């Protein structure tokens, strides 16, 4: 989607997966971009031939000093940040009980805390500008719990809640916030990059092995096209009515619809008993959102 305005994008996790596809789409669109990841050589390959509009920066998104340095360099180089795209993340494959506390904290650090802190670091610039877009990649697993992916789901559920609250808080400042919720896309996500648990408990094999088999057999065959996902993200930024959520993939919508129906049936089965927990004659006070 071409535009007469050159937006300045700050993209984390730009060296692979959806982050790389987004970086390539932004460059092809004629926008300016700060592309970040730990592997500078991969970023430089993406920027090759577009050095005037692209600033590749090595950045470990979990490192506070690295985050702040990259943002300072970005603003010094291009003068502003119009779009923050939080694309960095990684998954897991294993049962909840099998992961150590350290591993669970690593998942929260990357998929929740680092994303939230990077967003907070960019917000002062956007507030100063009086405008901006924030795109934060969650997952359908941020809405639908899955067996063998507990720590990942936990971190994504957390970033969902934090980001939706943020969207309500900054809307009046001219800042639009959108959660990106992909299903399965043809990236490296289904490969060996997923964290495996430190422990193996035989009792969980019946629920973990099907997920491991799915990851192995689906790698490189997923329905989702990362280039098309990137185009949808460009369209969100160009829109005058950016959604709070952009779900991507037929599989994601199918899982969401099925989950909503199951949740409603489950919650409604105890609805009256759940409601009947108030003091007699108590009045409900609505919260204004």
- What radius of gyration, in Å, describes the C-alpha atoms of the chain? 20
Q: Distance between alpha carbon 171 and the CA centroid of its chain, in Å?
A: 19
Which residue is associated with the tokens 């108030």? 278
Among candidate residues 156, 171, 218, 228, the one labeled active-site is 156
102 is catalytic: no
**Complete edge-to-edge strand list for the sheet that includes strand 132-137:** 54-58, 32-37, 8-11, 83-86, 132-137, 175-182, 245-248
239 is catalytic: no
Among candidate residues 152, 204, 239, 269, the one labeled active-site is 152
Among candidate residues 15, 138, 139, 204, the one labeled active-site is 138
152 is catalytic: yes
The CB-side HSE value for 275 (13 A sphere, CA atoms) comes to: 7
For residue 131, how many other CB atoms are within 10 A of its CB? 13
For residue 193, how many other CB atoms are within 10 A of its CB? 12
Residue 176 has which token pair? 């639009």
What is the C-alpha to C-alpha distance for residues 115 and 109, in angstroms, rounded to an integer? 8
Residue 156 has which token pair? 């994504």
**Four-residue CA torsion sign, 44, 229, 243, 143:** negative
Contact between residue 179 and residue 164 where contact means Cβ atoms under 8 Å apart: yes
What is the C-alpha to C-alpha distance for residues 55 and 43, in angstroms, rounded to an integer? 9
In terms of phi and psi (left: phi > 0; alpha: psi -120 to 50; beta: otherwise), the region of 63 is beta
Question: 128 in helix, strand or coil?
Answer: helix
Q: Which residues are catalytic?
A: 138, 152, 156
């Amino acid at each position: 989607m071409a535009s007469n305005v050159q937006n300045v994008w700050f993209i984390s996790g730009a060296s692979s997966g959806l982050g790389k596809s987004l970086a390539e789409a932004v460059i092809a669109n004629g926008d300016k971009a700060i592309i970040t990841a730990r592997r500078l050589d991969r970023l430089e390959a993406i920027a090759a031939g577009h050095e005037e509009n692209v600033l590749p920066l090595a950045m470990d998104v979990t490192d506070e000093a690295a985050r702040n340095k990259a943002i300072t360099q970005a603003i010094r180089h291009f003068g502003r940040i119009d779009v923050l795209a939080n694309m960095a993340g990684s998954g897991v494959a294993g049962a909840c009980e099998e992961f150590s506390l350290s591993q669970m904290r690593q998942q929260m650090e990357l998929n929740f805390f680092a994303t939230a802190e990077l967003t907070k670091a960019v917000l002062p610039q956007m507030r100063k500008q009086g405008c901006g877009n924030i795109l934060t990649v969650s997952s359908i697993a941020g809405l639908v719990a899955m067996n063998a992916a507990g720590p990942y789901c936990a971190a994504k559920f957390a970033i969902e809640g934090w980001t939706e609250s943020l969207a309500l808080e900054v809307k009046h400042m001219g800042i639009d916030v959108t959660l990106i919720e992909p299903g399965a896309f043809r990236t490296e996500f289904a490969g060996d990059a997923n964290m495996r648990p430190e422990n193996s408990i035989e009792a969980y094999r019946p629920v973990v092995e099907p997920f491991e088999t799915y990851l192995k057999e689906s790698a490189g065959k997923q329905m989702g096209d990362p280039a098309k996902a990137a185009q949808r993200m460009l369209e969100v930024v160009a829109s005058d009515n950016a959604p709070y959520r952009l779900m991507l993939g037929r599989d994601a919508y199918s899982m969401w619809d099925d989950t909503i129906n199951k949740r409603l049936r489950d919650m409604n089965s105890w609805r009256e008993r759940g409601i009947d927990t108030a003091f007699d004659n108590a009045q409900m006070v609505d919260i204004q959102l």
